[in-house]
Amino acid sequence: MSEPKPTILKIGGSVITDKSKELDVQMQAINRLAEEIREANVQNLIIVHGGGSFGHHLAQRYAITEGFKKETQRIGFSETHHVMTVLNGLFMDALIWRNVPAVSITPSSCIITKNGRIQCFEDAPLKMLLKMGFLPVLYGDAVLDTKLGFAILSGDQLVSVLATRFNAERIIIGVDVDGLYDVDPKVKKTAKKFTHLTLEELKELQSKLDKSTAWDVTGGMFGKIAELLPAIEQGIPVTIVNAAKPNYIYKALKGKKVKSTLIEKE
Ligand SMILES: Nc1ncnc2c1ncn2[C@@H]1O[C@H](COP(=O)(O)OP(=O)(O)OP(=O)(O)O)[C@@H](O)[C@H]1O
Ligand SMILES: [Mg+2]
């Protein structure tokens, strides 16, 4: 019997924190999303959440993405990883208090990167959790790196690797905008949203997307798209949806019609 295909849900740091303010958690959004996840009751679900204003500011301050170069970065690595466990704890609280059998998996304890790319990933506990009907929750994290000493592993890379490894049914990416636009909708009011894109169309669009990243050390929307390409190439559909708006994630999880961008291989 073939393994059931999981759904991978990314909850963006742009939704559960205010990225413009350091360590600013949006508890209301976390609680609402936990409610929507419980209500949707999707089997074989894996959640990854981003770092938002918990991860990115500290990672930037201590130049964690550049690797281990000086002593003063050591405490920065500890701090960056620690604040992510704090944000993750708040997210886990919200799920578990609602009777969702979620179990946190700490990426820095089971993943090592090489030049920022996942090199080794001990996924046996994750597989077993899924099999036993738990909801594994991972997050963007500061991890050890065989070339750089340490690095930042984005939630987006994690989503893509989980999806390709476990041959996911679909990927749902929750952000704080209604989908993928031709330009950043927060910068340009007249930005045009795409409803549906093929892999070919996405690749064409990619070169035109803005690379400026503001408070995102992992490349913002541009980095996200680049990470998702291998999963889309493997035939896994990606829905980008606004997780800041009530019930959008619920509807996406239930496969109901919702304002979003759907990206498919063909
Ligand atoms: N072409 C675009 N279409 C849609 N959003 C865009 C585009 N270009 C830039 N953005 C910006 O990308 C942001 C989402 O990506 P970002 O990496 O900041 O959030 P996130 O992935 O949710 O956070 P985290 O990395 O902490 O998980 C949106 O807030 C939006 O303003
Ligand atoms: Mg991001």
Phi-psi region of 244 (alpha: psi -120 to 50; beta: other; left: phi over 0): alpha
CB 44 within 8 A of CB 5: yes
- Beta carbon of 52 within 6 Å of any ligand 1 atom: yes
Nearest alpha-carbon partner for 158 in 49, 14, 235: 49
- Eight-state DSSP code of residue 17: B
Pairing mode of beta strands 170-175, 7-11 = parallel
Q: Residue 150 pairs with which residues in a beta bridge?
A: 144
Q: Give whole-number Cα distances, 96 to 12, 37, 123, in Å.
A: 20, 11, 22
- Asked if residue 107 has its Cβ within 6 Å of ligand 1, the reply is no
For domain 7-264, give the CATH number.
Answer: 3.40.1160.10
* Model pLDDT, residue 215: 63
Q: How far apart are CA 120 and CA 249, in angstroms?
A: 31
Q: How far is the CA of 20 from the centre of ligand 1 (A)?
A: 13
Ligand 1 atom 30 nearest Cα: 184
pLDDT value at residue 213: 61
What single-letter amino acid sits at 217? V
Distance CA 223, CA 144 (A): 20
Strand partners, 102: 135
Decide: residue 5, CB within 10 A, 0-12 exposed, 13-18 middle, 19+ buried: middle
**What is the reported pTM?**
0.97
* pLDDT score of 173: 98
Per-residue pLDDT of the chain (266 residues), as tens digits, is: 578 899 999 999 999 999 999 999 999 999 999 999 999 999 999 999 999 999 999 999 999 999 999 999 999 999 999 999 999 999 999 999 999 999 999 999 999 999 999 999 999 999 999 999 999 999 999 999 999 999 999 999 999 999 999 999 999 999 999 999 999 999 999 999 999 999 999 999 988 887 766 567 788 888 999 999 999 999 999 999 999 999 999 999 999 999 999 999 99
Would you say the CB of residue 174 lies under 6 angstroms from ligand 1? no
Ligand 1, atom 10: closest residue by C-alpha = 184
Residue nearest to atom 18 of ligand 1 (CA): 220
Q: Tell me how far apart the alpha carbons of residues 46 and 236 are, in angstroms, rounded to a whole number.
A: 15
| Cα–Cα distance for residue pair 243/156, rounded to 1 Å | 15
Burial of 64 (0-12, 13-18, 19+ CB in 10 A): buried
Rg of the chain on CA atoms, in Å: 17
Closest atom of ligand 1 to 52 CA is 26
Q: How many CB atoms lie within 10 A of CB 229?
A: 16
What residue owns the CA closest to ligand 1's atom 9? 184
Q: Which atom of ligand 1 is nearest to the CA of 14?
A: 22
Q: Give the ligand with the smallest distance to the CA of 87.
A: 1
Consecutive H or E run containing 161: helix 155-165
Residues 124, 151: Cα–Cα separation, whole Å: 23
Does ligand 1 lie within 6 Å of residue 12's CB atom? Answer: yes
